[in-house]
Every structure is written in structure tokens, then in C-alpha cells.
Structure 1
Amino acid sequence: MRHRPDRRPVGDPLPPPRPLSRRPDPSLTKAVDVTAHTTPPTAAPARPASAGPPRARRAAATASVWYLRAMALLNVLAVLSVPLRDRVHEYNEGEHFTPYLLTAGLVSAVLALWLAIAMRRRKRAAWIFNVVLAALTLAGMALFLLVPDQELDFRGHWVNWASAALTALFLMALLVGRKEFTSKGDRSNPRTALAALAGGLVLSGALGIGLVQATGSGTGAVLSDRLGYVLARFVTLDPTERAARLVQVPGWVDGTLNVTAALLFLSVLYVAFRSPRGRVMLSEDDETRLRTLLDRHGERDSLGYFALRRDKAAIFSPSGKAAVTYRVVGGVSLASGDPIGDPEAWPGAIDAWLAEAREHAWVPAVMGASEEAGVIYGRHGLSALELGDEAIVEVADFTLEGRAMRGVRQAHNRVRRAGYSVRVRRHEDIPEPEMARLVADADRWRDGATERGFSMALGRLGAPDDGRCVMVECHDTHGDLRALLSFVPWGTKGLSLDLMRRDRDSDNGLMEFMVIELLRQADEVGLARVSLNFAMFRSVFERGDRLGAGPVLRLWRATLGFCSRWWQIESLYRANAKYRPIWEPRFILFHKSSELPRIAVASGRAEGFVTTPGLPALFRRRSRACS
């Protein structure tokens, strides 16, 4: 059974904070998957966490990324600085040439920056793109430098030799660091990128020709000249002397064409280097294996049953004794709760999950991990940030007596006097037609069209496989259903809140009445403990209201209070605190703090709090389900 902090009533002085790196449970001191070194021959052996690549290869890969960042910066500076832009254009149009990707254009800046991001994530497609383009660029430079030209003397300018040397060094760094770029992309990326490029060029070219035709002036310009002018503006802001003589347009047209090209290239680069979406559902075999692990080790984590969400994927340790369940959202491999199964096999499952994330350039993150799991994840390089607290009520310790419970006791008595009654049943004991009516009422009472929840919600109600779940129904004096709660199993003697719905026209206090009645009828379902709602940033609300709270804490408290108008952050904390529960901390785990904004957006999307606009069909990928 998982470690529990001492019972602490709300409002009592806080104990000293417990660091996540404290000595873990003795059962975890030797948490090593004993089969980690006996992987079947068909599986590729995982690289040990401590074994890094050779220093030279790693340095070469890093140098190539910094080269692209430098080119992006120089291109941006050239776009903003007229003298620098003129100098670059003078070099490129005369007897000089500049290093790879230095063109003083916004498109080149976007391209270099995007390639730097993709290369930093070790994407193989970005490496191939750079090798091919840099090799072609270097071959062209070598041709100019080694083959004499009667009109232009390319060999007589040191800038050309320096540009060729820089390009050659960049290409050499790519080749030396080749084995570092192992992250796979989606198989549909190349053809989708080509389709996006072709379609975008047609649309943006037509737009550019229309603008040039409507606003341009000049002598002797034909359609091919206008098209050439538009294509040239896609690369740089300033036209050549010949183009300026034939086509003359206002400056805003040149800027529009350049920005349009940058947006086009962003779209093409997005579909060319995006990561695979990942599996979106559990297979029947995965679900069976997870249920077996939950039967053996379900007591450890109150969120364990939520691993059975069918929009998650599961990856198992080599021994099959543990698993990590996750979902890929926006390039983030988002796991939730603790690994399922034997803690001694957790490291094997975590290694497999992290290896898959590296293979596909996904950002690994964990939502709602316990302190126990956070220690194990920390040994694999993940950092922890406290996300909030889970409210847990021990049935044996719960009482309505005492002044602190006066408000809850009065609310319970008021609802009971109004004639409401509560019925507690296992899902498997509810007839199918009656369950269908309960599901219909739950859908009707849902706040909004989106079903929210990911890490602490099952995402379905009434499924035949979830017969051990518990339904709490509240009926009024006429026998009409006015509210319901659904709980998932937490081992054999615990429940974890999954769904909470009520008729908006019903009396206040129904939820408190139902929770208390469930605790009173605990013997009927063999109940010893109940996990209620998760209170995000609970410590901020509790400490921010105290005398002597500092200005930073008070400001953070006020900010969360303002956000609670839409996301019920504070109300969830208040609703749970009235039961005087045990607060179990939950953590978000991540590799780099710079990835936290991306992880926050991904978790918001997974939980249903953040919605993204639909993409055109060209940019959407077909979901890959488990076989």
C-alpha cells in the first residue's frame, strides 16, 4: 500500500515541506527490473541511462544545431538592417557567395530556425534534409572555385573561400554526428510536405501575380517577368536591378509576398518534420494485461484504474510485470499517474517509454504522479514540480461530529429533510436498461459538449467491463434521479471518483449529501477509503489566505482566484477541504523546464480544457490504432 502522510486537518500549521528526493520506501531501494538484461533476441536492447554517445559525436551534433541558430539570427538581422542586407545581396549577386542558408531573407530565417529546432530534437528527416541541401550547396561552391570563369573571378575573393569552408565544416559536423539523429518522423510526411508545397506555391503565386498586376508599374514586363519577380520576392525583400527595372511595386507588396512565403514554408516544414501521432487506443491484449496487473497491484495508486482509458497506449517492461500508459498529444508523450504493476519492474517500463519517446522525438511528461513514483522517475532524469493534492478520506476516521464539520453536517441534514435519498450499487448490479437511462442523464447534465478528463477520469460510463465500478444515485421525494456519482475501483477496498453530475435545477448540497451517504454505507460495498477530486495548487490557496503571506504568494493566490472563474480551481479545493481529508501530493514530471509550456498545452488538450481549431484535411493524419 502506498505511503500516506499523517492526517492533518485543514487550517492547522503546515509541517516542513517534504523534498521529493527523500529516501523512498524500502521496497523501492532495489527497484530494478530483473529481466532488463534478458531481453528477448527479437527486441532491441535498451541503451543504459548512464551510457552516453561518444563526446565527439555529441559535440558535432550540437555544433550543427548552433550553426543553424546562428544562420537564423543573421538572416533576421539582415532583414531588419538595411546595410547588412545590402552587403549580403551584393555578395550573392556579384563575384561572391555566402555560407549555407545565409540569404538575408525571412524565408531563410524561418527555414534555419525550424531546422535548428528539428535537429535539436534529433529528427532524422531534418538531418537528411540538411545533408542533401548542404552537399548541393558545397558542390556549387566548389564548381565556382575550381573551374575558372572568364567573366567572374570567384577564386580571388577570400569571402568565397570562407563561405565554402564554413559550409564544409557544417556538412562535416552533420556526418560526424549522424548516429545522434535517430528520431523517426511520420511515414506520410514526405508526400504530405510535397503536396503542401505544390498547393501553396500555386495559391501564393497566383496571389503574388495578382498583386503585382494590380499595383505594379514598369516597362516591358510580361507574365514570366511578374512570376519571376514574385518567386524572387519569396526568398528576399530587395529585387535585383533587372527585376526593379521591369517591375515596380509598392514596398508593402514586397513585404506581403515575403511573409506569405514564410507562412508557406512554415506549413511545409511543419508537415515535413512533425512527429508521429502515436497509438490512440488500447488493444484488447493490452487491456487484459493491464487488468491483470491492477488485480495484483491496484492498491498502490488510486489513479491506477484510469490507465484503462481506451484513448491511451500502454508500453510494458521487458518482464511484463509493469507498464506505463500514455497518450501522444501535440508531440508530447503524456503519461498519467504511476506506472501500473510491480514497483520493482517500474524502471524497465519507464526505460521502454522514454526510449520510444526518443525514437519519435516526443517530449516525455507525466501528469499526476505520486511522490513514490516521482522518486523512480527522477532516477531516469525527470524533474518534478508539485501540481496539487488529491483528497483522500479514510472511512474509519471520518466523522460528522465536532465544530469543524458543522457546515457539512447542516448541509447533509437539510438535504435529508428535503426528502432526498441515496442508492449505492456496483455497475454490474444495475440492469442494462436502467444503466442506459443513467448514462443518458449524465450526458444531459454535462457542462458543455466536451467530455473532460484524462489523468483522473475514465472517459466512459456503463461499459460492461467496468462492472466493479460503483454508482451513487440521488433521488428526490418523487423518485426522480437528480444527481449521480461514479467511482472506479481502487484495489479491493477503495474507490476513486470518476464522474460527478447533477441536475442544475436540484437543491444545493446534493454532492456533499451523496458523499457522506456513501461513507455511511461503506460496509455494503466493502469500502475503506475514497479518493475525491484533485485540488490543483491547493497549497497556494491554503497558505495565501494566512496571516503573514508574502506579496508574491498573495499575487499568485489572486491570479489563481481570477482563473477560477472559468476553471473552478478554488471551488474544487473548497469542496474537498470540507471533508477534512488526507492530502496526497501529485506531481508533474518533465525533462526540461523549457518544455513546460508545451506540456501545459498538451495536458490542457488531453484534459479537455484547451481546444484547437480543426486543421485542413491536408495537414491531418490518420490515427494509428493498436493492432
Structure 2
Amino acid sequence: SAVTRELIHDPGGANLSWMGLWPENSHWVAASGRAAVPYREIGGVFLTVGEPVGDPAARTEAVREFTDFVLASGGVPCFYSVGDDVRAACERAGFRSVRVGEETVIELDGLEFRGKKFQDVRTAINRARKEEVTSLWTRWSECPLALKEQIIEISEAWVSDKGLPEMGFTLGGIDELDDPEVRLLLAIDARGSVHGITSWMPVYREGELVGLTLDFMRRRADGFRPAMEYLIATCALDAKDEGMEFVSLSAAPLASTNLGHAAGADDAGPAENRPAASALDSLLERLSHALEPVYGFRSLLAFKAKFQPSYVPLFMCYEESASLGFIGSAIARAYVGEVSTVKSARLVAALGVALRRGHGG
């Protein structure tokens, strides 16, 4: 992971690459040393945590070498949550691709929360001022104990309300806050009560900090209601003042304005001229719907629309359709984590069945 961390700093990675540094991941490094791939091996599926990091010119080489490594290990390769450039590199290597989500990005150049479209954001900022709620930038190692205890309390209440384990894989929890390069932005009232918490991972390009990516989001259930709108707006304006280029609101897993459509379908002209939707459309829709009542990914994507972001498609690339059932089960287990309850065990089982049925298996 030390090599991966170095490559993420310089030459750099994608906006979501910092997640690849989380402790549960393994790391493959290209023979050239110019690229690395964070991944999870689950049930024989080697599921990448985003795309290769490092030299963009080494992407195609990294895709091919990593695939060879996986096949030599007797596994199934799957590049998960990758951008269009890596999707193209995967397709050149013989992979198929499908859209599995969207990253939402706020460009900071000239950003001003003005006009009717930003009404909700401005209302949150004005209400915070009126109710004496302010923002505090900190890091976990610097955060006072009284605030840490409140953050843990709010997070535990949020998790218990779901009735399922806290998700992982591309969604960080309390443990992922303890990183010296991850920034915390808190909403605090005049009495010292924490109403909302966000964490922001760095994005580097050639050693320079160019953006921040949202990960952890929690709000006190009975607290300042527009805490998230207030914190995201505050982060964007502060990052702009710091000279950064963008703030990413990350991706809502398996939620997209065009979920499951084959790559390139958006540009294929009128609907009647587009290729027939593959069985994978049904597969991903089933997976998304199975998770929505519990984790609300589509609701989260709709929430982020308040900030008028750009939408960047994310793809899953795979070699063989026959492996989709195994891949679906691996994705489910990656997100749900250790199956410790009957409810989560049933969810994982249901997702695997949905994926196989969705492909017609």
C-alpha cells in the first residue's frame, strides 16, 4: 500500500482512488512500477477498488498485467467503478462493460450559490447563521475527545437504524476517518453539539492537491436538518478559496440516471436506434432495488442534484457473462461485509439470485 499511496500522490489517481488505501484492500503493482491496482479477493473474484492509479499512460498495460495475474491465480477479474478511460482500456483488452453508477462533481471555477436552482443550498447556509450553527475543519487525530464521542454516537445511531451492518468497500465508516490526510468538516452549534459530520479525501495530480472527495456523511437525527447541505456548500466554497479545482460528492453505488445501460448508449441517438438493452440492465436494476430500501442510494443521488453537479459515469468491466453471478455475490459481500445477521445473509443471497436471474441464468 505504500507504493499505491505514493502513486496516488504523484502522478495521481482518480477522484475515488483514496478508498483504495483502506486497510481491507490488497495491492497489485505493475512490473514497471508505474501503476498499481487496489483490489479485494472475494470468493475467487478479484474486484478492483476503483481504477488503476499512477501513470495514465500505463493504464492499458496495468489492465492487461492485472488480468494475467488474476487468471494465473485461478480467479475472475472485475474492474469495478472505473471511469471512461479505463473502461476503454478494458474493452481493448477484451472486456465487456456496463454502467454501474455516477460520480457527482462540483466544478469550483466561478462557483457561486446564486439563482433559483441553488435555493435549498442558500436556505441551509442562512438557517445555519440564524441558528448559530458553524463549521469546523479538523482531522481525527486533532479532534477533541468530546467531539469524537459525539461523532461515534451519531454514527452508531445511524447504523442501528438501518438494521444491517455498516457498509464498506467504497463507503467509509468511523475507522476510515483516522487518516492524517483525510479532513473532517463538522457542523456545531453554540453549545458544542455536533449536528453533522462529513469527511473529505484528497485528490492529487502530480503531487498537487487539486480536489476533495466526500466520503463519510452522518447527521444527528433530531438536529439541524439541513446540516449536509450546509457542510457540502461550506466545503465547496472553502476549497475554492484554497485554489482547488473541484469537489467530488463521490458516487452513490448502483445508482445512476442511466443505470445498467451499455457503454456508449447515451450517444447512440434516438431510443429506437440504440442497441437492445442487455440482460445486464435487469441484473443491475435488481441489485439496485434490493439495496435501495435499506441504504437509499438513489435518494442520495437525488440529494446531490441540489448542487448542480456534473455527472461522470462509472463502469464495471468483466470478461465472461457466465461469471456475473459470482461477481454479483462478490459485490454484495464487499458492501455488506461480514455476514453477521440473518437479515444480511438473506440480502447477500437475494443479490446473488437477482444477478443470475437478471442475466437469464
- Shared fold, TM over 0.5: yes
1:425/1:326 CA distance change after superposition, 3 Å: same
Aligned partner of 2:43 in structure 1 is 330
1:352 is aligned, of 48, 60, 65, to 65
1:170-249 equivalence runs, <5 A: none
Write the letter of the residue equivalent to 2:244: L
1:500 maps onto 2:193 in alignment: no
1:455 is aligned, of 170, 173, 178, to 170
The alpha carbon displacement at 1:323 in A equals 0.9
* Distance of 1:399 and 1:561 partners within structure 2: 35
1:587 maps onto 2:301 in alignment: no
1:561/1:405 CA distance change after superposition, 3 Å: farther
The alpha carbon displacement at 1:495 in A equals 0.7
Aligned partner of 1:403 in structure 2 is 116
The question of whether the paired residues in 2 share the 8 Å contact of 1:304 and 1:340 is answered with yes
* Distance of 1:302 and 1:348 partners within structure 2: 21
1:477/1:436 CA distance change after superposition, 3 Å: closer
The alpha carbon displacement at 1:426 in A equals 4.6
2:236 is aligned, of 504, 519, 522, to 519
Write the letter of the residue equivalent to 2:87: G
Write the letter of the residue equivalent to 1:534: A
The question of whether the paired residues in 2 share the 8 Å contact of 1:604 and 1:610 is answered with no
Task: Provide Cα deviations, 1:39-73, integer angstroms capped at 9, x if missing partner.
Answer: xxxxxxxxxxxxxxxxxxxxxxxxxxxxxxxxxxx
* Distance of 1:407 and 1:500 partners within structure 2: 18
1:437 maps onto 2:132 in alignment: no
Aligned partner of 1:476 in structure 2 is 189
The alpha carbon displacement at 1:431 in A equals 4.9
Aligned partner of 1:572 in structure 2 is 300
1:83-102 equivalence runs, <5 A: none
1:418 maps onto 2:102 in alignment: no
The alpha carbon displacement at 1:452 in A equals 1.2
1:294 maps onto 2:8 in alignment: yes
Larger displacement relative to structure 2 (436-445 or 337-346):
436-445
Secondary structure of 1:497's partner? strand
Task: Provide Cα deviations, 1:600-626, integer angstroms capped at 9, x if missing partner.
Answer: 121111012783779xxxxxxxxxxxx
* Distance of 2:212 and 2:150 partners within structure 1: 19
Write the letter of the residue equivalent to 2:3: R
1:338/1:458 CA distance change after superposition, 3 Å: farther
Task: Provide Cα deviations, 1:136-170, integer angstroms capped at 9, x if missing partner.
Answer: xxxxxxxxxxxxxxxxxxxxxxxxxxxxxxxxxxx
* Distance of 1:478 and 1:549 partners within structure 2: 56
1:7-46 equivalence runs, <5 A: none
The alpha carbon displacement at 1:332 in A equals 0.7
Secondary structure of 1:375's partner? helix
The alpha carbon displacement at 1:481 in A equals 1.2
Which has the larger Rg?
A: 1
1:34-183 equivalence runs, <5 A: none
The question of whether the paired residues in 1 share the 8 Å contact of 2:152 and 2:174 is answered with no
1:296/1:540 CA distance change after superposition, 3 Å: closer
Q: Which runs of 5+ in 2 are unaligned?
A: 262-269, 343-361
Write the letter of the residue equivalent to 1:510: A
Secondary structure of 1:474's partner? strand
* Distance of 2:224 and 2:155 partners within structure 1: 19
1:605/1:295 CA distance change after superposition, 3 Å: same
Greater fraction of residues in strand: 2
The question of whether the paired residues in 2 share the 8 Å contact of 1:534 and 1:572 is answered with no
1:382 is aligned, of 95, 99, 121, to 95
* Distance of 2:56 and 2:6 partners within structure 1: 15
Greater fraction of residues in helix: 1
The alpha carbon displacement at 1:425 in A equals 3.1
* Distance of 1:424 and 1:524 partners within structure 2: 14
The question of whether the paired residues in 2 share the 8 Å contact of 1:426 and 1:471 is answered with yes
Secondary structure of 2:324's partner? helix
Secondary structure of 2:40's partner? strand
TM-score when scaled to structure 1? 0.46
Task: Provide Cα deviations, 1:111-136, integer angstroms capped at 9, x if missing partner.
Answer: xxxxxxxxxxxxxxxxxxxxxxxxxx
The question of whether the paired residues in 2 share the 8 Å contact of 1:485 and 1:500 is answered with yes
Task: Provide Cα deviations, 1:1-50, integer angstroms capped at 9, x if missing partner.
Answer: xxxxxxxxxxxxxxxxxxxxxxxxxxxxxxxxxxxxxxxxxxxxxxxxxx
The alpha carbon displacement at 1:385 in A equals 0.2
Q: Which runs of 5+ in 1 are unaligned?
A: 1-286, 615-627
1:527-606 equivalence runs, <5 A: 527-535=244-252, 536-540=254-258, 564-606=292-334
**Residue-pair matches, total:** 317
Write the letter of the residue equivalent to 1:470: R
TM-score when scaled to structure 2? 0.77
The alpha carbon displacement at 1:442 in A equals 5.3
* Distance of 2:158 and 2:119 partners within structure 1: 30
2:199 is aligned, of 472, 478, 486, to 486
* Distance of 2:123 and 2:143 partners within structure 1: 34
Write the letter of the residue equivalent to 1:349: A
Secondary structure of 2:170's partner? coil
Aligned partner of 1:367 in structure 2 is 80
The alpha carbon displacement at 1:407 in A equals 2.8
Aligned partner of 1:341 in structure 2 is 54
* Distance of 1:454 and 1:315 partners within structure 2: 17
The question of whether the paired residues in 2 share the 8 Å contact of 1:425 and 1:470 is answered with yes
Write the letter of the residue equivalent to 1:452: M
* Distance of 1:410 and 1:496 partners within structure 2: 23
The question of whether the paired residues in 1 share the 8 Å contact of 2:107 and 2:247 is answered with yes
1:610/1:564 CA distance change after superposition, 3 Å: farther
* Distance of 2:220 and 2:55 partners within structure 1: 42
Q: Identity of counterpart residues, as a percentage?
A: 24
Secondary structure of 1:319's partner? coil
Task: Determine which structure has greater relative contact order: mean sequence separation of CA pairs < 8 Å that are 6+ residues apart, divided by chain length.
Answer: 2
The question of whether the paired residues in 2 share the 8 Å contact of 1:533 and 1:572 is answered with no
The alpha carbon displacement at 1:296 in A equals 0.7
The alpha carbon displacement at 1:318 in A equals 0.8
Task: Provide Cα deviations, 1:243-264, integer angstroms capped at 9, x if missing partner.
Answer: xxxxxxxxxxxxxxxxxxxxxx
The question of whether the paired residues in 2 share the 8 Å contact of 1:436 and 1:462 is answered with no
Secondary structure of 2:181's partner? coil
Task: Provide Cα deviations, 1:509-549, integer angstroms capped at 9, x if missing partner.
Answer: 110111111122225655331111414342248x9xxxx99
